[in-house]
Amino acid sequence: MQTTHRPFDADTYHVRCATVSDAAELARLRVQLDAETEHFDRFPGEAVLDEEAFRTILTGSSTVPDRILVVERSGQLVAYSRCTGFSLRRFAHKAEFGIGVQKDHWGQGIGNQLLTQTIDWVKTSELKKIQLSVIETNHGAIRLYQRHGFQEEGRLRHDRLLQDGCYYDTVLMGLQLI
């Protein structure tokens, strides 16, 4: 089934950098997203980041580039993305990217906005590459990444076990900004 892409409505959704005051809402959102879809690496309840963990991330004095964007609607967070650099010098030119959108808000152009703003931010930094991994069944995300110039760089065969008892590939994608 192909989803029709609707234009992003800036009057309905507000994209901004996350602040420490978002920590509790980010923790709530991440738990909700894990329960709504199997597109993430985690089963619901695994590797939970609580409010304090998000507070630490958001107040961290990391030496690597790290940016969390959130999407707010009617005072509630409905999506977020994170782009995080590497501390090792051999990998300091790149960052990992991840995104999560509440299922009720899929098809609204939110992922496109988060990715566009992240790419714009990366272009102003020292970073030269964004990489990500996505499950092979997440066709909408793969199309989004491809529209932004990401290319498949590899696959991890039978990498993820889903609730149906089957194993699925993880697609490794990257965007070169060199």
> Tens digits of per-residue pLDDT, 119-133?
999 999 989 999 999
Average pLDDT of the chain to the nearest whole number: 91
The token pair at 19 is 């602040």
What value does the CA radius of gyration of the chain take, rounded to a whole number of Å? 16
Phi/psi zone of residue 2: left (φ > 0), alpha (ψ -120 to 50 degrees), beta? Answer: beta
Residue 2's pLDDT is 47
Spatial CB neighbours of 160, under 8 Å, sequence gap ≥ 6: 41, 135, 167, 168, 169, 170
Contacts 24+ apart (CB under 8 A), 88-94: 92/64, 92/126, 93/126, 93/127, 93/128, 93/129, 94/127, 94/128, 94/129, 94/130, 94/131, 94/174
More confident residue, 168 or 64: 168
Three-class SS of residue 169?
strand
Q: What percent of the chain has pLDDT above 70?
A: 95
Residue 8 has pLDDT above 80, yes or no: no
Full-prediction pTM beyond 0.85?
yes
Distance between CA 38 and CA 102 in Å, rounded? Answer: 12
Of the candidates 119, 127, 170, which has an alpha carbon nearest to the alpha carbon of residue 148? Answer: 119
| Residue 40 per-residue DSSP state | S
Residue range 51-85, pLDDT digits in tens? 998 998 898 766 778 899 999 999 999 999 999 99
Distance between CA 110 and CA 69 in Å, rounded? Answer: 11
Task: Output the CA–CA distances (angstroms, integers) from residue 36 to 29, 49, 100, 127, in the order listed.
Answer: 10, 17, 10, 32
